[in-house]
């Protein structure tokens, strides 16, 4: 699914009044806060460890529906699947997909998935992964609420945060989402403390990551919490993964601000910073034209253009 399509999926939840665009990135976790005091190359302490079972595998459920974004769930799937514990007979994680039915669904790019279980037949998970997707039924929301009562981690990836937020479980907690969905998320869920410019956020047994590849870093973080830093490092080495976001979730500051726009060479939407849709007519404000990726964003801008223009001028 392209980025514009992904945002359109989140836009289906509704657009609200516009708000100022620039919010300073906040420190995300005790682990990140302590990073400055750790010598280079020395592992950071795991401040909120999880206890793996003495025997057996940790069940990980991937909740999917139509248009589930492939990297959002396949990235974490690959991380959990590549964990190896010397001397352990069982696989550290047992991975399975869950959907409303076991009928085939089409993920982004046309990948066909036959879910392993329905919401009614799925084994009780200790970890839930919620990727960006189209589905948002009451049955899905209730399954997340019910299952999260027994999870160690329920994690969203990208705009999967909207689905998790609609359960009400994130109320009063901190979270993040895809950078181009920040304003939509903040408007719809003012009781959730949105954090911009972070790879992921952890709050109790709930966790959320930024867009797309950020879910890989959150999965590594979950591995680290269960099995320690060395196992997470070994898994990253096996996968030839050189990303450092799982070590420092505050490393996403490039997304704390909207991308700069150039009128002719590379105009971007003033609401979210995504590439524009040339078929949408521009809006004029104080002698300057502004272009948009979605008609809904044009409507937001037209309602209160001064808020968005002020945000751009302050970058």
> Which residue ranges does the chain devote to CATH 3.40.50.880?
3-14+49-254
Q: Which residues of 96-125 are buried (b: 16+ CB within 10 A; e: fewer)?
A: ebbbbeeeebebbeeeebebbeebeebeeb
Q: What is the pLDDT of residue 257?
A: 79
% the chain with pLDDT above 90: 65
Fold of the domain built from segment(s) 3-14+49-254: Rossmann fold (3.40.50)
More confident call, 45 vs 221: 221
What's the pLDDT at 5?
57
Contact present, 99 and 125 (Cβ < 8 Å): no
In this prediction the pTM is 0.82
Give per-residue pLDDT as tens, 152-176. 999 999 999 999 999 999 999 999 9
């Amino acid at each position: 699914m392209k980025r514009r399509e992904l945002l359109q999926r989140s836009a289906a939840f509704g657009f609200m009044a516009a708000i100022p665009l620039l919010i300073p990135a906040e420190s995300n976790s005790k682990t990140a806060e302590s990073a400055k005091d750790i010598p280079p190359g020395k592992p950071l302490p795991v401040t909120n460890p999880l206890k793996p079972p003495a025997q057996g595998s940790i069940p990980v459920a991937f909740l999917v529906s139509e248009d589930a974004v492939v990297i959002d769930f396949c990235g974490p799937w690959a991380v959990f699947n590549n964990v190896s514990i010397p001397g352990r007979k069982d696989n550290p994680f047992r991975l399975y997909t869950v959907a409303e039915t076991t009928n085939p669904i089409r993920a982004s790019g046309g990948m066909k998935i036959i879910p392993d279980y329905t919401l009614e037949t799925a084994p009780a998970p200790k970890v839930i992964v919620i990727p960006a997707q189209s589905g948002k039924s009451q049955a899905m929301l209730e399954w997340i609420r019910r299952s999260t009562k027994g999870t160690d981690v329920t994690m969203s990836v990208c705009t999967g945060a909207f689905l998790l937020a609609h359960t009400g479980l994130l109320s009063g907690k901190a979270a993040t989402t895809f950078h181009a969905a920040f304003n939509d998320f903040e408007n719809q869920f003012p009781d959730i403390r949105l954090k911009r410019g972070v790879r992921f956020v952890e709050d109790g047994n709930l966790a959320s990551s930024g867009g797309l590849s950020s879910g890989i870093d959150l999965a590594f973080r979950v591995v680290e919490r269960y099995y320690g830093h060395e196992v997470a490092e070994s898994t990253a080495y096996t996968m030839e993964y050189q990303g450092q976001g799982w070590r420092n979730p505050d490393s996403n500051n490039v997304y704390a601000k909207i991308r700069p726009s150039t009128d002719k060479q590379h105009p971007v939407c003033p609401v979210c910073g995504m590439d524009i849709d040339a078929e949408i007519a521009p809006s004029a404000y104080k002698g300057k034209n502004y272009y948009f990726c979605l008609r809904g964003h044009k409507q937001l801008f037209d309602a209160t253009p001064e808020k968005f223009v002020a945000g751009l001028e302050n970058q």
